[in-house]
Amino acid sequence: MIFLIVQYDFSFDKFEKGGDRICRVVTNHDARVPFQLVNEVRNEVTGLDVAALLNRWDFEINMSIAKPGDVKPSVFLNMPNIVFADDNYFKLINYKWISGSPEYSLSQPYQTVLTEQSAKRFFPNLSLNDVVGKEITFNDTVHTIVSGIIENLKYNTDFNFQIFVSRATEKALIRRSLHDEEYIPPSVLFVKLSRNTNPEQIAKQIGNVYKLHAKPSSNGRFNLNYGLEPLSNLHFSKLYEGDSGPAKAYRPALCGLMVVAGILLLLACINFINLTTAQSSERAKEIGIRKTLGGSRKQLIFQFLSETFILTAISTLIFIFFAPLLLKAFSGFIPEGLHFDIQQPGVILFLLITTILVSLFSGIYPALILSSYRPIAVLKNQTVSGLGNTRRLFFRKTLTVSQFVIAQVFIIATIVVGRQIHLELNKDMGFKKNAIIYFGTNYRDTSTAKRMVLLQKFKTIPEIANVSLGGFPPSTNGHWDSI
C-alpha cells in the first residue's frame, strides 16, 4: 500500500511532452507574478518557447445551466477547478480538442472551454458537439458561451482544471466591478524553455526585466528574487502555494513512508528467521535422512529457499485479493484517485522484485543453518547441541533483541503521535469554535458601504450573537501582499 501511495505521488506530470523544460516562475515568497510582467517576458526574455499565464477562479463559484426541457436551470454549487486561461496554456499542456480550437475558443470575453468529463456532467443528454454554443452562468451574473470541448488528461497531473474561462472575461469582470482598465490581479506564470537553455539564465533575465519595468515603492519590491520551479516539483511544493493551489504531497513524508515500509519488511523477515530457526529441531531428522541418502547441501538450500519463496508468493497473492478492501478501509488517509490495478505500470515488477528479495533475505540464513546439520549428529539426537555454538546463539539473540526494539519504537511513536493529534483536536482555544462560521465576500468590490449594510443586516438576525468584518481568518492561512 505504501508503494502504491509513493508511486502515485511521484507519477504526477511525468508524461507531459517536454515536461522537463516546463517551469513555474516564482519569487522568494510567492508563486504569483504581476500580470504586466508576462508581456515583457515574452518580448525581452530569450530562450522561451511558451509563456502561459493562469489565474484560478478560486472563490465560491456557483453555476447555473439552462438545458432543453428543464423548467428551472440546473444549479451546481461551489464548483472547483475553474481557471482563467488563454491559448498559450494549450501550447504548454497538450490537450486533444474534440470541438473548437485553442486559437479561437478563448480569444473573446465570456467564452468557456469544458473538459469532456465536465461537458457530460453538465449536459448529460447532449452530444459533445451539441454542447458547443450552450450558455453557462457563473454566480448569476457572468453569462458565458461554451466555445470548445477538450479531452481530459489521461495521466496523473496537477493541471486538473475542468472549466477554462477566457482571460478576456477576467479583464471584463475587473472593469465591471472595479471600473479599472489597468488592474489585473497577480497570476501564475508558466514557461517552457527552449532546448539546451539554462534555467538560471532565464530566471536572471526575468529578474532584470522586472527591475527594469517595475515602479519603485516603499515596500521593498526590488528585493524580490525570481526563480524557476521545475514541473516535477509542482506536486510537492510547500513554499509557493499561490494561485496554483496547495501542494498535494510532501516529499519528506513520502520518504519517511518508504523507510517505514522497509523497516516493516525487515521486522517481518527477522520474525520469520527467528521462528524458522526456533523450529529447526522439527525438521532435523528429515535433513539427516536426506543427507544420508545422498542429498547435497546445495539441494537442501534450494529446497528451503523455494519453500520460503512459495510462502512469500502466497502472501503476495493474499494481498492482491485484499488490496481493494484495504484501500477502501484507509480511503481517508490516502490520496484521492489512488487505486490498485495489477496492470498498473510497475506494480507487477514491484511485487516480483519484493517477493524475491524478501524470500532471499528471510530464507537464506535458515537455509544455511538447516543445511549445515551433520547427519550423524542429527540421527543421534544431537541437533540442539549442534545449534548451540556461541556465534549462532549470539546472532539469534541479536535478531530477537532487534525485533523487539523495532516493535517498541513503533509502539512508542504511535502513542506520541496519537497524543499529539488528540491535543490538536481537543486543545482549549479560549472560545467556542463550534458556534463560529465565516464566509467570503467579493474582494474586487471595494465598496465599504455595501459591507456595512451587510453587517447591519446580520445584526438584526436574532440567532446571531455577534458579527464582525475582518480579513483572512486564521484557519485559512491567508495573507495579503503587494507584488
Do 193 and 270 reside in the same domain of the chain? no
Task: Report in angstroms the alpha-carbon separations of 267 from 130, 307, 315, 392.
Answer: 60, 19, 16, 19
Domain count for the chain, please give it. Answer: 3
User: How far apart are the C-alpha atoms of 182 and 103, rounded to whole Å?
Assistant: 24
- Range name among 59-63, 100-104, 173-177, 393-397 with the lowest pLDDT average: 173-177
Could you tell me the residue range of the domain that residue 199 belongs to? 16-244
Rounded to the nearest angstrom, the gap between the alpha carbon of residue 73 and the centroid of all alpha carbons in its chain is: 35
Query: 482 in a domain, yes or no?
Result: no
| Domain end position, chosen among 244, 261, 296 | 244
Count of positions (residues) in the chain:
483
Q: Domain for residue 236, yes or no?
A: yes
Query: Do 393 and 467 belong to one domain?
Result: no
Cell of 124: 448529460
* pLDDT higher than threshold 60 for residue 385: no
Q: Flag whether pLDDT at 244 surpasses 60.
A: no
More confident residue, 425 or 114: 114
Does residue 157 share a domain with residue 39?
A: yes
**Per the domain annotation, does 83 fall within a domain?**
yes
Mean pLDDT confidence for 211-234:
72
Q: Which of 244, 265, 284 is the last residue of a domain?
A: 244
Q: Give the whole-angstrom CA distance, residue 118 versus residue 95.
A: 15
Task: Check residue 215 and give its pLDDT.
Answer: 66
Q: Is residue 135 part of a domain?
A: yes
Q: Is the pLDDT of residue 147 over 90?
A: yes
- Contact indicator for 21, 192 with CB cutoff of 8 Å: yes
The answer to whether residues 335 and 231 belong to one domain is no
Residue 217 shares a structural domain with residue 87: yes
**Contact of 314 with 397, CB cutoff 8 Å:** no
Q: What is the DSSP string of 314-331?
A: HHHHHHHHHHHHHHHHTT
Helix 199-213 to helix 35-44 angle (10° resolution) is 120
Whether residue 9 lies inside any domain: the answer is no
Chosen domain end from 222, 244, 266: 244
- Find the largest Cα–Cα distance for the chain: 101
Q: Which amino acid is at 41?
A: V
| Domain match, 283 and 347 both | yes
Asked, for residue 483, whether it belongs to a domain, the answer is no
Q: Give the position of cell 533575465.
A: 205
Q: Please state, in angstroms and rounded to a whole number, the distance separating the CA atoms of residues 52 and 373.
A: 72
Asked if residue 263 and residue 204 are part of one domain, the reply reads no
Residue range 27-58, pLDDT digits in tens: 876 777 877 788 888 888 888 998 888 888 76
Residue in 351, 233, 335 with CA at minimum distance from that of residue 8 = 335
Q: Does 10 fall in a domain? A: no
Q: What is the pLDDT of residue 56?
A: 82
What is the model's pLDDT at position 462? 92
Q: What pLDDT score does 420 carry?
A: 94
What secondary structure letter does DSSP report for 57? -
Dist. CA 47–CA 209, nearest whole Å: 14
My answer on whether 382 and 326 are in the same domain is: yes
Same structural domain for residues 92 and 64? yes
Residue 327 has pLDDT above 80, yes or no: yes
Residues 76 and 214 in one domain: yes
For residue 8, being part of any structural domain is answered with no
Distance CA 394, CA 391 (A): 5
- The stretch 332-336 carries a mean pLDDT of 81
Same domain (yes/no): 202, 137: yes
Do 71 and 215 share a domain, yes or no? yes
List strand residue ranges (DSSP E) for 194-283, in order: 227-230
CA dist 374 and 381 (Å) reads 11
CB 7 within 8 A of CB 261: no
